Amino acid sequence: MIDLNTIITNVTNIAIQYIPKLAMAIVTLIIGLWIISILVKVSDRAMKHGKVEVSLRKFFKSLIKISLKIMLLISVIAMLGINTSSFVAVLAAAGFAVGMALQGSLGNFAGGILILFFKPFKVDDFIEAQGHSGTVDAIRILNTTLKTTDNKIIVIPNGALSNGSITNFTAEKIRRVDMVFGVGYDDDIKKVKTILEKIVKSDKRILKDPSYQIVVGELADSSVNFKVRVWTKTENYWDVYFDMQETVKLTFDKNKISIPYPQTDIHLKK
Protein backbone atom coordinates (compact mmCIF):
# COMPACT_ATOMS: atom_id res chain seq x y z
CA MET A 1 0.00 0.00 0.00
CA ILE A 2 1.01 3.58 -0.61
CA ASP A 3 2.11 5.30 2.54
CA LEU A 4 0.22 8.60 2.69
CA ASN A 5 2.68 10.05 5.17
CA THR A 6 5.56 9.30 2.81
CA ILE A 7 3.76 11.02 -0.08
CA ILE A 8 3.03 14.08 2.05
CA THR A 9 6.63 14.18 3.22
CA ASN A 10 7.98 13.95 -0.35
CA VAL A 11 5.58 16.63 -1.60
CA THR A 12 6.54 18.85 1.31
CA ASN A 13 10.24 18.39 0.62
CA ILE A 14 9.77 19.15 -3.08
CA ALA A 15 7.69 22.22 -2.21
CA ILE A 16 10.31 23.42 0.26
CA GLN A 17 12.98 22.90 -2.38
CA TYR A 18 11.24 24.41 -5.43
CA ILE A 19 8.78 27.01 -4.10
CA PRO A 20 11.55 29.54 -3.24
CA LYS A 21 13.08 28.96 -6.67
CA LEU A 22 9.68 29.34 -8.34
CA ALA A 23 8.95 32.49 -6.35
CA MET A 24 12.35 33.91 -7.21
CA ALA A 25 11.83 33.00 -10.88
CA ILE A 26 8.41 34.72 -10.94
CA VAL A 27 9.82 37.84 -9.27
CA THR A 28 12.75 37.84 -11.70
CA LEU A 29 10.35 37.47 -14.64
CA ILE A 30 8.15 40.39 -13.49
CA ILE A 31 11.09 42.68 -12.74
CA GLY A 32 12.86 41.60 -15.94
CA LEU A 33 9.83 42.41 -18.12
CA TRP A 34 9.58 45.83 -16.42
CA ILE A 35 13.28 46.55 -17.06
CA ILE A 36 12.95 45.36 -20.69
CA SER A 37 10.05 47.76 -21.29
CA ILE A 38 12.16 50.63 -19.93
CA LEU A 39 15.19 49.66 -22.06
CA VAL A 40 13.03 49.42 -25.20
CA LYS A 41 11.53 52.87 -24.57
CA VAL A 42 14.95 54.39 -23.90
CA SER A 43 16.43 52.86 -27.09
CA ASP A 44 13.42 54.03 -29.11
CA ARG A 45 13.84 57.60 -27.80
CA ALA A 46 17.56 57.46 -28.61
CA MET A 47 16.87 56.33 -32.19
CA LYS A 48 14.17 58.98 -32.56
CA HIS A 49 16.56 61.64 -31.27
CA GLY A 50 19.17 60.36 -33.74
CA LYS A 51 16.56 60.77 -36.56
CA VAL A 52 16.63 57.06 -37.48
CA GLU A 53 14.09 56.26 -40.20
CA VAL A 54 10.69 55.14 -38.84
CA SER A 55 10.69 51.67 -40.46
CA LEU A 56 14.21 50.95 -39.23
CA ARG A 57 13.36 52.25 -35.75
CA LYS A 58 10.35 49.95 -35.46
CA PHE A 59 12.42 46.98 -36.62
CA PHE A 60 15.21 47.59 -34.10
CA LYS A 61 12.63 48.15 -31.36
CA SER A 62 11.06 44.74 -32.05
CA LEU A 63 14.48 43.07 -32.36
CA ILE A 64 15.67 44.46 -29.01
CA LYS A 65 12.42 43.47 -27.28
CA ILE A 66 12.43 39.88 -28.61
CA SER A 67 16.14 39.33 -27.91
CA LEU A 68 15.89 40.58 -24.32
CA LYS A 69 12.78 38.49 -23.64
CA ILE A 70 14.51 35.33 -24.93
CA MET A 71 17.50 36.02 -22.67
CA LEU A 72 15.18 36.61 -19.71
CA LEU A 73 13.26 33.39 -20.39
CA ILE A 74 16.49 31.35 -20.48
CA SER A 75 17.60 32.93 -17.18
CA VAL A 76 14.26 32.15 -15.50
CA ILE A 77 14.36 28.53 -16.68
CA ALA A 78 17.91 28.19 -15.34
CA MET A 79 16.78 29.54 -11.95
CA LEU A 80 14.28 26.66 -11.71
CA GLY A 81 17.15 24.20 -11.98
CA ILE A 82 16.36 23.11 -15.54
CA ASN A 83 19.36 22.47 -17.83
CA THR A 84 19.22 25.14 -20.53
CA SER A 85 22.14 23.93 -22.65
CA SER A 86 19.95 21.66 -24.78
CA PHE A 87 17.37 24.45 -25.13
CA VAL A 88 20.02 26.89 -26.35
CA ALA A 89 21.41 24.28 -28.77
CA VAL A 90 17.95 23.64 -30.24
CA LEU A 91 17.36 27.38 -30.54
CA ALA A 92 20.71 27.88 -32.31
CA ALA A 93 20.05 24.97 -34.70
CA ALA A 94 16.60 26.33 -35.51
CA GLY A 95 18.07 29.78 -36.16
CA PHE A 96 20.72 28.31 -38.47
CA ALA A 97 18.12 26.30 -40.41
CA VAL A 98 15.87 29.31 -40.82
CA GLY A 99 18.85 31.42 -41.91
CA MET A 100 19.82 28.92 -44.62
CA ALA A 101 16.24 28.67 -45.86
CA LEU A 102 15.85 32.43 -46.00
CA GLN A 103 19.29 33.25 -47.38
CA GLY A 104 17.96 35.38 -50.23
CA SER A 105 15.48 37.14 -47.98
CA LEU A 106 18.21 37.85 -45.44
CA GLY A 107 20.23 39.54 -48.19
CA ASN A 108 17.25 41.74 -49.01
CA PHE A 109 16.73 42.32 -45.29
CA ALA A 110 20.35 43.47 -44.85
CA GLY A 111 20.00 45.65 -47.95
CA GLY A 112 16.86 47.24 -46.49
CA ILE A 113 18.70 48.10 -43.28
CA LEU A 114 21.55 49.69 -45.28
CA ILE A 115 19.12 51.75 -47.35
CA LEU A 116 17.14 52.91 -44.33
CA PHE A 117 20.33 53.71 -42.39
CA PHE A 118 22.42 55.47 -45.06
CA LYS A 119 19.43 56.97 -46.93
CA PRO A 120 20.70 57.15 -50.54
CA PHE A 121 17.10 58.13 -51.36
CA LYS A 122 13.83 58.75 -49.55
CA VAL A 123 10.14 58.51 -50.31
CA ASP A 124 9.06 60.86 -53.16
CA ASP A 125 12.59 61.00 -54.65
CA PHE A 126 12.87 60.26 -58.37
CA ILE A 127 15.58 57.64 -58.90
CA GLU A 128 16.99 55.31 -61.53
CA ALA A 129 18.25 51.90 -60.39
CA GLN A 130 18.42 48.30 -61.64
CA GLY A 131 17.29 49.40 -65.11
CA HIS A 132 14.14 51.10 -63.80
CA SER A 133 13.24 54.70 -63.03
CA GLY A 134 10.41 56.21 -61.05
CA THR A 135 9.31 57.99 -57.90
CA VAL A 136 10.00 56.13 -54.66
CA ASP A 137 6.58 55.10 -53.34
CA ALA A 138 7.63 53.05 -50.29
CA ILE A 139 10.80 51.74 -48.64
CA ARG A 140 10.28 48.45 -46.80
CA ILE A 141 12.64 46.08 -45.03
CA LEU A 142 12.75 43.59 -47.94
CA ASN A 143 11.95 45.70 -51.01
CA THR A 144 11.41 49.18 -52.40
CA THR A 145 8.54 50.15 -54.69
CA LEU A 146 8.79 52.73 -57.47
CA LYS A 147 5.92 54.44 -59.24
CA THR A 148 6.72 55.15 -62.90
CA THR A 149 5.67 58.26 -64.80
CA ASP A 150 2.89 56.25 -66.50
CA ASN A 151 1.62 55.08 -63.06
CA LYS A 152 3.04 51.56 -62.94
CA ILE A 153 4.40 50.05 -59.73
CA ILE A 154 7.84 48.39 -59.81
CA VAL A 155 9.04 46.31 -56.84
CA ILE A 156 12.85 46.05 -56.50
CA PRO A 157 14.49 43.72 -53.92
CA ASN A 158 16.62 45.71 -51.50
CA GLY A 159 19.56 43.31 -51.79
CA ALA A 160 20.10 44.15 -55.47
CA LEU A 161 19.21 47.80 -54.88
CA SER A 162 21.77 48.30 -52.12
CA ASN A 163 24.56 46.62 -54.14
CA GLY A 164 23.96 48.48 -57.42
CA SER A 165 24.34 52.02 -58.67
CA ILE A 166 21.55 54.49 -57.90
CA THR A 167 20.92 57.80 -59.66
CA ASN A 168 18.90 60.19 -57.51
CA PHE A 169 17.51 62.99 -59.68
CA THR A 170 15.82 64.90 -56.87
CA ALA A 171 18.40 64.68 -54.09
CA GLU A 172 19.57 68.27 -54.72
CA LYS A 173 17.41 71.38 -54.63
CA ILE A 174 18.57 72.67 -58.03
CA ARG A 175 19.44 70.97 -61.34
CA ARG A 176 21.06 72.00 -64.59
CA VAL A 177 18.95 71.79 -67.74
CA ASP A 178 21.07 70.92 -70.79
CA MET A 179 19.63 71.73 -74.23
CA VAL A 180 20.94 71.81 -77.80
CA PHE A 181 19.50 74.04 -80.55
CA GLY A 182 20.73 73.79 -84.12
CA VAL A 183 20.67 76.64 -86.65
CA GLY A 184 21.70 76.88 -90.28
CA TYR A 185 25.20 77.82 -91.44
CA ASP A 186 23.76 80.86 -93.24
CA ASP A 187 22.25 82.29 -90.04
CA ASP A 188 23.93 85.03 -88.00
CA ILE A 189 25.23 83.19 -84.91
CA LYS A 190 25.63 86.44 -82.95
CA LYS A 191 21.97 87.20 -83.54
CA VAL A 192 21.05 83.65 -82.52
CA LYS A 193 23.04 83.95 -79.30
CA THR A 194 21.34 87.26 -78.46
CA ILE A 195 17.90 85.71 -79.03
CA LEU A 196 18.71 82.75 -76.80
CA GLU A 197 19.99 85.06 -74.04
CA LYS A 198 16.75 87.09 -74.15
CA ILE A 199 14.68 83.90 -73.87
CA VAL A 200 16.72 82.66 -70.91
CA LYS A 201 16.61 86.01 -69.07
CA SER A 202 12.86 86.35 -69.56
CA ASP A 203 12.10 83.05 -67.78
CA LYS A 204 11.85 83.77 -64.04
CA ARG A 205 12.20 80.06 -63.19
CA ILE A 206 15.78 80.09 -64.47
CA LEU A 207 18.22 80.97 -61.71
CA LYS A 208 20.75 83.80 -61.98
CA ASP A 209 23.18 81.97 -59.70
CA PRO A 210 24.63 79.66 -60.93
CA SER A 211 24.72 81.57 -64.16
CA TYR A 212 23.49 80.23 -67.50
CA GLN A 213 25.82 79.24 -70.36
CA ILE A 214 25.17 79.69 -74.08
CA VAL A 215 27.97 78.57 -76.41
CA VAL A 216 28.54 77.22 -79.90
CA GLY A 217 29.03 73.58 -78.98
CA GLU A 218 29.47 71.90 -82.36
CA LEU A 219 29.82 72.58 -86.08
CA ALA A 220 27.80 69.60 -87.22
CA ASP A 221 27.26 68.27 -90.76
CA SER A 222 24.16 70.33 -91.44
CA SER A 223 23.83 72.74 -88.50
CA VAL A 224 25.62 74.95 -86.02
CA ASN A 225 24.62 73.56 -82.62
CA PHE A 226 24.24 75.89 -79.67
CA LYS A 227 24.49 74.36 -76.20
CA VAL A 228 22.29 76.09 -73.67
CA ARG A 229 22.80 75.22 -69.99
CA VAL A 230 20.60 76.80 -67.35
CA TRP A 231 19.94 76.12 -63.66
CA THR A 232 16.52 75.84 -62.05
CA LYS A 233 14.82 74.37 -59.02
CA THR A 234 14.48 70.60 -59.24
CA GLU A 235 10.68 70.72 -59.28
CA ASN A 236 10.77 73.07 -62.31
CA TYR A 237 13.20 70.96 -64.37
CA TRP A 238 10.80 69.47 -66.94
CA ASP A 239 8.60 72.56 -67.17
CA VAL A 240 11.64 74.68 -68.06
CA TYR A 241 12.92 72.08 -70.53
CA PHE A 242 9.66 71.68 -72.46
CA ASP A 243 8.76 75.40 -72.41
CA MET A 244 12.22 76.30 -73.73
CA GLN A 245 11.78 73.96 -76.71
CA GLU A 246 8.51 75.60 -77.70
CA THR A 247 9.64 79.18 -77.03
CA VAL A 248 12.88 78.79 -79.01
CA LYS A 249 11.06 77.32 -82.01
CA LEU A 250 8.44 80.10 -82.07
CA THR A 251 11.07 82.82 -81.60
CA PHE A 252 13.35 81.39 -84.30
CA ASP A 253 10.43 81.28 -86.73
CA LYS A 254 9.55 84.89 -85.90
CA ASN A 255 13.13 86.03 -86.51
CA LYS A 256 13.61 83.95 -89.69
CA ILE A 257 16.21 81.70 -88.03
CA SER A 258 16.31 78.34 -89.75
CA ILE A 259 16.38 75.04 -87.89
CA PRO A 260 17.97 72.59 -90.34
CA TYR A 261 17.22 68.91 -90.49
CA PRO A 262 19.18 66.08 -92.11
CA GLN A 263 18.68 66.00 -95.87
CA THR A 264 20.37 64.56 -98.93
CA ASP A 265 20.92 66.42 -102.22
CA ILE A 266 20.81 64.21 -105.34
CA HIS A 267 22.37 65.50 -108.56
CA LEU A 268 21.33 63.81 -111.83
CA LYS A 269 23.74 63.87 -114.76
CA LYS A 270 22.49 63.24 -118.30
To the nearest whole number, what is the mean pLDDT of the chain? 84
Does residue 32 contact residue 24 with C-beta atoms inside 8 Å?
no
CATH class entry, domain 174-254:
alpha beta
Residue 43 has pLDDT above 80, yes or no: yes
**Residue 89: its pLDDT value, please?**
66
DSSP β-bridge partners for residue 135:
126, 147
Residue 78 has pLDDT above 70, yes or no: yes
Distance CA 137, CA 153 (A): 8
Domain ranges (residues) in the chain = 4-101, 118-168, 174-254
**Residue 205: its pLDDT value, please?**
96
CATH class entry, domain 4-101:
mainly alpha
Query: How much of the chain, in percent, has pLDDT values that exceed 90?
Result: 45
Residues 6 or more apart whose CB falls under 8 angstroms from that of 212 comprise 200, 206, 228, 229, 230, 231
Q: How many CB atoms lie within 10 A of CB 116?
A: 22
Residues 6 or more apart whose CB falls under 8 angstroms from that of 99 comprise 106
Q: Say how many CA atoms lie within 13 Å of 52 toward its Cβ.
A: 18
Distance CA 25, CA 72 (A): 10
127-139: per-residue pLDDT in tens?
999 999 999 998 8
162-176: per-residue pLDDT in tens?
889 999 999 999 999
pTM of the predicted structure, to 2 decimals: 0.64
**Residue 227: its pLDDT value, please?**
97
DSSP β-bridge partners for residue 156:
144
* Positive/negative CA dihedral, 75, 80, 81, 82: negative
Q: pLDDT band for position 102 (50/70/90)?
A: very low
Report which of residues 15 and 64 the model is more confident about.
64
**Residue 229: its pLDDT value, please?**
97
**Residue 22: its pLDDT value, please?**
73
Distance CA 2, CA 15 (A): 20
Distance CA 197, CA 37 (A): 65
Domain 118-168, CATH 2.60.130.10 — does that match? no
Residue 225 has pLDDT above 70, yes or no: yes
Distance CA 161, CA 167 (A): 11
Smallest CA-to-CA distance from 148 within 127, 166, 168 is with 127
